[in-house]
Amino acid sequence: MSAPTRTSVSLARKLAAYLALTKPRVIELLLIATVPTMVLAERGLPNLWLVLAVLFGGALSAGSANAFNCYIDADIDKVMGRTKNRPLVTGELTKTEALVFAWVIGAISVVWFAVLVNPLSALLSLAAILFYVFVYTLGLKRRTPQNIVWGGAAGAMPALIGWASVTGEVSFTAFVLFLIVFLWTPPHYWPLSMKYLEDYKSAGVPMLPVVAKNQVVARQIILYAWAYLAASLLLIPVAQMGLIYTVVALASGLWFVVESHLLYREAKTSIPANPMRLFHSSITQLTVLFIAIAIDPLIYL
């Protein structure tokens, strides 16, 4: 009776390792933008089966990009405390298993979108994977401190995919939604980089906090926070948003800006004690903003 139990545990660990390879928390963050974008594109509740199809396809697409990232960055993950428990570092998966898995779920995601959603969403899904793998991970991550800025373009693709899945096109409104997530990414991620500065130094990854003083990084965070606020307010006239979204965008955006200024004030005189406060605040802020994007068109039907 003991052998089957060991096999069962081994299988469970293997499945958990494959799941970890997709970085589920990152996927969750990416999908935050998808459903509200679909609601806004529909100006009401989109078809439930379409929503489920887009969410499943989007999870596969993002999971594929993340799995490729883990495969390419396995050497980095070994020397970083934050990533030392990833499955390629622990040996729960081989690099071959990870690579095959990344290719398979990536191919499934593109076919899934093409067959069950529409060709444009499939093309955008493929573009997101290719951009994240070749432009960000292989091209920029180890070469420039602006890596995460351009990496944010891949993270903003769910907004375009969600819009295209409903309308079959990509409008100016969709590009504004893309811009919101794109501009949000640097002030979201740089505080995390400040927290794990020594990890990135050890791995030889030139994140902005590695090559610039904290004060310079914090100043850049402020600039992007203001730009993000401006982009979120631009959505009001472009998409004819109502009072609910306007109030939420203004209040939450200003909160984000204030938190950025607080980080800068601390960075001017010392090493920030808790940069992760802004990191976590940014997640809350983006989530609240996209909830408002979903609610607003439903209220003003």
Q: Can you give the CATH number for the domain in which 24 is found?
A: 1.10.600
What pLDDT does residue 273 have?
A: 83
Residue 203 lies in a domain: yes
Q: How many structural domains are present in the chain? A: 1
Q: Specify if 6 maps to a domain.
A: no
> Considering the domain boundaries, does residue 4 fall inside one?
no
Domain, as residue range, for 234: 15-299
pTM across the whole model: 0.93
DSSP 41-101: HHTSPPPHHHHHHHHHHHHHHHHHHHHHHHHHTHHHHHH-GGGTTSHHHHTSS-HHHHHHH
- Those residues of the chain that have pLDDT short of 70 are 1-9, 300-301
> What is the spatial distance between Cα 301 and Cα 298, in angstroms, rounded to a whole number?
5
Write out pLDDT tens, residues 218-236: 999 999 999 999 999 999 9
In a domain, 3, yes or no: no
Q: Does 10 map to a domain?
A: no
- Give helix 24-31 / helix 34-42 axis angle, nearest 10°: 20
